[in-house]
Chains A and B, each alone.
With several copies, the nearest count.
Chain A
Amino acid sequence: MRGEGFRGLTLSELLTIKQVEKLFSEGRRIDERGFLEFREIEINTNVIEKAFGSARVSLGDTVVVAGVNFELGTPFPDSPDKGILIVEGEVLPTASFGAEAGPPNEYEIELSRVVDRGIRESEMLPLEEYVIKHGEVVYKIFLDFNIINDDGNLIDAANLAAVAALATAKMPDINYVKEHIDELNSINIKEVPKVGVKIRDLPIAVTLGLKNNKFIVDPTFAEEIAVESLITITHTNKGELCSIQLLKGGLTFEQVFEAINIAYEKNIELRSILERNGIKVI
């Protein structure tokens, strides 16, 4: 995965990976965590006052910031009665030695699309309610997130930040906009009275690594390279699967189901952390 190819790794990264591998063979993790234990999670919302919604999440040393923006836009021709949700994420060049400025590479695109799928497929946002005028004007919601520091498990961290930013966002009151539909050109979307975003679900992504036929959760950067396989499994509020992505390597048929069960257990744990931060489906 990341860290591969000609860019190579720093010497310190290489040494850590070696150490991680050695410890794995002894049944231990480098930070003495349990195999199914998450690092410390910190969630702060509304960290960007000027955005409609925002969050900063840290998962150990992995740090993500997410922001939400609302615009007026034209719906896609094949869904004239739905708002538009655009999820884009980038790993900033601040995040690690190997991270590069420039257009998103395939790992960043996969990261964005996995986070996007969780939100979209869980139907977290009621997009069908974001229509100002059928086929012509809808809300366009941008959810942008950035990895500021990369110590692995970007998907889980980004998913938490995205979900926290969306769930705590204040959006422009659609009734107000509809009442002023004849003056749409002169509406400044930033100045429309705001109401809380209604959410219907909270997708929770859990990424597992597999090494020596044992699963770990919340892999660090070095662990992501050391493990043989990586898989992300996202659950809805009701415990349904809403997104899976095998990121690296392979699994036996049985391991697929084992992974799903672990992800389900951990999803409940993460869900309660979100709830402690006031983020839940009402």
Chain B
Amino acid sequence: MSEEFRRVDGRKPDEMRSYKIKAHVLKNADGSAEIRLGKNWIVAAVYGPKEHFPKFEVLHDRAILNCRYHMTPYSTSERKSPKPSRREIELSKVIRSALEQAVILEEYPEMSIDVFIEVLQADGSTRVASITAAAVALADAGIPMKDLVVGCSAGKINGRIIVDVGEYEDKEGEADLPIAIMPNLRRVVLLQMDGKLTHEEFKKAFDMALKGAYKLYEEQINALKSVIKNMEVLEGEDRE
């Protein structure tokens, strides 16, 4: 890849957009987080563990994890109906499936944990940004987890493999590869791909996405640390 190649927003192929994660951003939720990744602005809230309702759905050996990925009507260029689309239903399912790998559901039999993700502004790679925020919200809620979950995407545009696919690249590019991993357990828990990639290109894209994910993992940790720091400050105040 030539050094001169610059993406539509000026990035190098292996360059992430700017990002920022904040934990504990909502007052009412048991846990919450906000992520900004490029112009993506996504909020995740966690309610639970709590009594599951209705009773007949309860699982006796573990908690039920509910997950909703949702885009607000103004989050996209064309106004989106607030009713969940087939795409949103599919993404809710794959995100839930990924988070289920990390959350220790067996600790809360007969209960449920709700994860609500709201995309306030969409700018490409929303699903991996969403799962990254959702994992922080779960940790913020104090839910026991085997590991965090963090996601990043890679793709291909004009024949080049790129990381952290932006909206324009998603629409105009040749392939999109969103992944999410448990960073310490080194397991892939979300993996989708569309477009066309040779096996070789896939390898390159996969590695780039992994690197991106590990960067965002640092940011997740920072976000959670500052919440703990805040708590310590508050506890300190308490002691006075």
Are any A and B Cβ atoms less than 8 Å apart in their complex?
Answer: yes
Q: With an 8 A cutoff between CB atoms, is B82 at the interface?
A: yes
Which B residues touch A93, using CB under 8 A? 45, 68, 114, 116
Q: With an 8 A cutoff between CB atoms, is A218 at the interface?
A: no
Q: Is the CB of A6 within 8 A of B58?
A: yes
CA distance A50 to B39 in the complex (A): 9
Known: A65-B120, A106-B92, A252-B187. A94 touches B45 (CB 8 A): yes
Q: Is the CB of A121 within 8 A of B196?
A: yes
Closest-by-CB residue of A relative to B210 is A253
Closest-by-CB residue of A relative to B205 is A241
User: Contact partner of B193 among A61, A97, A244, CB < 8 A?
Assistant: A244
User: Contact partner of B188 among A101, A246, A247, A264, CB < 8 A?
Assistant: A246
Which A residues touch B78, using CB under 8 A? 69, 71
Known: A49-B39, A97-B28, A113-B90. A242 touches B188 (CB 8 A): no
Which B residues touch A34, using CB under 8 A? none
Most chain A CB within a 10 A radius of its CB, from B58, B78, B123, B186: B78
Known: A93-B45, A106-B90, A122-B196. A68 touches B74 (CB 8 A): yes
Q: With an 8 A cutoff between CB atoms, is B189 at the interface?
A: yes
User: Contact partner of B93 among A6, A106, A231, A252, CB < 8 A?
Assistant: A106
Q: Is the CB of B195 within 8 A of A144?
A: no
Q: Is the CB of A90 within 8 A of B90?
A: no
Measured CB to CB, the residues of A under 8 A from B are 5-6, 47-51, 54, 61, 63, 65-69, 71, 88, 90, 92-97, 101, 103, 106-107, 109-110, 112-113, 117, 120-122, 142, 144, 146, 148-151, 190, 231, 236, 239-253, 255-257, 260-261, 264
4 tightest A-B contacts by CB?
A67-B74, A94-B45, A244-B193, A246-B191
